[in-house]
Chains A and B, each alone.
Chain A
């Protein structure tokens, strides 16, 4: 009997349009948006690349020219300079406007610069100018003090030194693109949207919530069997959706989810369980219409996702600084943190805390759901 129920519940779920809309089409759409709009921002904004700059030569300064050309020709240069004469200033500004250069440096008696936006690129160019001025002054100082010995000062200044030893915090090659967290949250959203199909199943098995529920209550099948079969069917279908989502993100959108891919799949499937249980809870609580319940489940899911950073990327860390308890219990935050931990850390302690929390919350949701649906007779239908 269980298998009969299970078979038809799965068949039913697979033919539900909402499933395809909410759990497959919508996330795919968002995934494409994320990939197109956000993923490359990291490479442009955070990850270091050579900063291009334009130099407008108002006054000839052979030393400056030599230094900048030296940088241009060095390996892995920090900056790359393009030179313009004073008459060509407009050209340089056009490059700035189209963001092909980070700033326009004016080589006058005193160095100055024009930028379009604030930001790290501009800051770095500014620092370059300051450094140049700084070194120039130190050498001038030295020449004044010891006109013959200044060369060793100059050598010392231009010598490539490295005062900082870098210790890697995380394994080399880890994906540190913080835009990836949008995809972690997207997966969390897919998992929580599973509540929509979950609540449908619940409504369809409750005599007081739907005609179908009443009809099924008249059959000689135990209610617990019907309920568990429905939830299992849901979970199986939800797992398929989660696997699809991970596959889509990893292989179609080509987002780097780290090298523990089997674990990612497993985590996705477990988070799906949380969504199903949430749906069971919402479905069994109260007697409002299925439409309102669906509305509630969408709003609740999106609110959770908002708090874990689906919309404003660094929400999670802001909450961590202010009210960390939310991150410990917000299902969406726990799910996205699982993916984050799998990607970031080689040890599993944080991951295990997260996944255990997910299982506990699922269990609590399911338990409340069972308590609420244990009634077999109703005061009114």
Chain B
């Protein structure tokens, strides 16, 4: 059995009236890429800040590496790498100096440190920008610098709080690949995001949060299995009589059929040949239709089903 790296039990955090964390329990095992998924304001960052002992909390306990976490638990902190949501680097220092500075807070030996800093630079691909001031970097490179500052000391536990916010797709992929590589090299990762695609792509285990509560936890497959949706069929169609929609809805395995004036969305639960049966109904009624596509369930569907609302706003 793998070791437990992080153990959070019954964590409660209040901001006067607002309950930011409501009896949260989390357990993260060694070697995992643990995703903390939830909409903005669901308590992800608060969880991270409590975990790092930056925030005081009202109830509960936090253990990292099997020991109680506290602001003075320096031996624990030594093995944690932090990549904050807000980029925390010195504007006055160059890229290299920033990485060296933060690495130096953890690693005393100069020769080792030099090697580590070089590794980190190579890892995030900032070799050509060593002498740059952070302000001169583009959004994506800036984020990568933030990451390099967090991982240069080769920590056992890496916490990334929304590291890909406002990052171009290229940099985003580079960052995600990097995280997977860090994990392959043995680091345990805690990754928070409100982009479900990212979480699906890299996380081995996922906790979904909403309003300070953990509403679901498991691997992505486990999570998807918890809901009845197995397939979503979307058909572009110009006009659809209500009668036909009801007929589609009453097909076996179909539990919901919605029409918004341009698209018919049919959600199915289990069963085979769902698509064929739906198309048959449309043909029978002599309705012409445009594009047709089917999707397997996503984490968004999981969230939607549990909370009744989408993980992200449409335009997000």
Contacts and interface: CB of A to CB of B under 8 A. Distances in A.
Interface of A: 1, 4-5, 8, 11-13, 15-16, 204, 207, 210-212, 214-223, 376-381
B54 interface: yes
Nearest to A222: B74
Interface stretch (B101-109, B121-129, B180-188, B202-210): B101-109
Contact of A1 (B75, B102, B105): B105
Contacts of B151: none
B17 interface: no
Interface in B97-153: 97, 100-102, 104-106, 108, 149
Per CB-CB distance, the 6 closest pairs between chain A and chain B, nearest first, are: A376-B71, A215-B88, A211-B86, A15-B92, A219-B105, A220-B74
Contacts of B77: 218-220
Contacts of B105: 1, 4-5, 216, 219-221
Contacts of B3: none
A8 B104 contact: yes
Nearest to A378: B55
Contacts of A8: 90, 93, 97, 100-101, 104
19 contacts: A8-B93, A11-B93, A11-B97, A15-B92, A15-B93, A207-B54, A211-B84, A211-B86, A211-B87, A212-B90, A215-B84, A218-B54, A219-B77, A219-B106, A220-B78, A220-B106, A221-B74, A376-B72, A377-B54
Contacts of B82: 215, 218
B153 to A, nearest CB: 9
B171 interface: no
Given A1-B105, A214-B84, A220-B77, A12 B71 contact: no
B16 to A, nearest CB: 10
A212 to B, nearest CB: 4
Contact of A380 (B15, B53, B87, B88): B15
B89 interface: yes
A304 to B, nearest CB: 28
The interface residues of chain B, by DSSP majority, are classed as loop
A15, A219, A379 interface centre (most CB from chain B within 10 Å): A219
Contacts of B54: 207, 214, 217-218, 377-378, 381
A211 B84 CA distance: 8
Contact of A219 (B75, B92, B102): B102
Nearest to A377: B56
Given A11-B93, A377-B71, A214 B88 contact: yes
B53, B82, B93, B105 interface centre (most CB from chain A within 10 Å): B105
Interface string B58-100: 0000000000000110111110101010111110110001001
Given A218-B82, A379-B55, A12 B75 contact: no
Contacts of A214: 49, 54, 84, 86, 88
B52 interface: yes
A11 B74 CA distance: 25
B74, B87, B90, B149 interface centre (most CB from chain A within 10 Å): B90
Contacts of B72: 222, 376
Contacts of B93: 8, 11-12, 15
Contacts of B90: 8, 12, 204, 212
